[in-house]
């Protein structure tokens, strides 16, 4: 149950959060941590509250109990736009590209903030266009006209414009072609190299175990298991038990 190396000074710490959707109790006290620059996987079957956990971190869903800490300060109850500005990027499950904004305008939603001068903006844009050349080609095309994979890349690039310290990725490979999946995998490595932490929610178990350092397994709104990804790669009984794959 105890993983090898818990982070000493976590970037994000979720402490015993409970959430309700109407009357149904979704999260029954989820606790987890993500260290600086660490990639952490969050696995579990459909409907166990993985997406809700991410939403609770960014403040789209307000936990009724428990708290979320970012760099040691509590951010529970902070409006979502403030959470985004302090360095938490969010890439939701359905990507949620602004369909009528162009690719460039989609990026500008994260880029045009106070304290970012023109030179810095250009650096960030160049970086996004280097990682995702297809976005450069389509920069004046409406977001809604992109393919699923391109939209996923735009969603990640858009979150990167906030210069976040952590990006929450909700099922980034869902419904993508294998070639796109490996591109997403590469991007997670790139983020990792740039010391951006990633909290990765996925159904794709092999990819998650490969990309993450630690993994939490969620079942019925609680963390049932917590392990180093490397250990789970060797011993997949746990994976069988909780995920049935």
Binder to another protein among 74, 109, 182, 195 (CB under 8 A)?
109
What does the per-residue mask of binding to another protein show for 36-75, with x meaning CB under 8 A? ----------------------x-x---------------
Q: What share of the chain is helix, strand, coil (3-state, %, to 5)?
A: 40, 25, 35
- Minimum Å gap between C-beta 161 and another protein is 8
| Residues contacting 203, CB < 8 A, separation 6+ | 46, 171, 174
Nearer to another protein, 98 or 242 (CB): 98
Nearer to another protein, 58 or 200 (CB): 58
158, 106 Cβ separation under 8 angstroms: yes
155, 95 Cβ separation under 8 angstroms: yes
Q: Which stretch binds another protein (CB under 8 A): 11-19, 21-29, 68-76, 109-117?
A: 109-117
Binder to another protein among 31, 67, 80, 145 (CB under 8 A)?
80
The C-alpha angle 105, 108, 113, rounded to 5 degrees, equals 150
172, 156 Cβ separation under 8 angstroms: yes
Binder to another protein among 70, 90, 132, 216 (CB under 8 A)?
90
Binder to another protein among 92, 131, 210, 242 (CB under 8 A)?
92
Binder to another protein among 110, 149, 172, 221 (CB under 8 A)?
110
H helices, E strands: number in the chain: 10, 10
Residue 113 lies near another protein (rule: CB under 8 A) = yes
62, 51 Cβ separation under 8 angstroms: no
Nearer to another protein, 28 or 113 (CB): 113
Restricted to residues 136-155, the positions that interact with another protein (CB under 8 A) are none
Task: Return the closest-CA partner of residue 238 out of 212, 123, 227.
Answer: 227
Phi, psi of 13 (to 5 degrees): -130, 120
C-beta neighbour count of 75 within 10 angstroms: 18
Phi, psi of 226 (to 5 degrees): -145, 120
Structure tokens at 93: 């499950």
Binder to another protein among 12, 32, 75, 84 (CB under 8 A)?
84
Residue 101 lies near another protein (rule: CB under 8 A) = yes
Nearer to another protein, 112 or 194 (CB): 112
Residues that bind another protein (CB under 8 A): 58, 60, 79-81, 84-85, 90, 92, 96, 98-101, 105, 108-110, 112-113, 158-159, 162
């Amino acid at each position: 149950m105890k993983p090898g190396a818990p982070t000493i000074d976590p970037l994000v710490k979720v402490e015993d959060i409970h959430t309700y959707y109407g009357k149904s109790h979704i999260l029954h006290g989820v606790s987890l941590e993500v260290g600086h620059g660490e990639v952490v996987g969050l696995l579990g079957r459909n409907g166990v509250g993985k997406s809700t956990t991410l939403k609770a971190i960014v403040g789209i869903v307000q936990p009724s109990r428990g708290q979320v800490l970012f760099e040691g300060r509590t951010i529970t109850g902070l409006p979502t736009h403030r959470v985004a500005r302090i360095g938490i990027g969010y890439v939701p499950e359905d990507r949620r590209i602004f369909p009528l904004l162009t690719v460039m305008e989609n990026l500008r939603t994260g880029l045009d903030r106070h304290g970012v001068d023109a030179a810095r903006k250009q650096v960030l844009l160049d970086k996004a266009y280097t990682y995702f050349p297809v976005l450069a080609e389509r920069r004046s095309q409406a977001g809604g006209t992109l393919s699923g994979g391109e939209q996923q890349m735009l969603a990640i690039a858009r979150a990167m414009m906030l210069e976040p310290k952590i990006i929450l990725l909700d099922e980034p490979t869902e419904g993508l072609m294998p070639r796109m999946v490996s591109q997403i995998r590469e991007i997670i490595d790139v983020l990792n190299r740039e010391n951006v932490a990633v909290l990765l929610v996925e159904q794709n178990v092999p990819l998650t175990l490969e990309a993450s350092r630690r993994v939490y397994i969620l079942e019925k709104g609680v963390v049932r298991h917590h392990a180093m990804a490397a250990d789970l790669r060797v011993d997949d009984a746990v994976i069988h038990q909780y995920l049935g794959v």
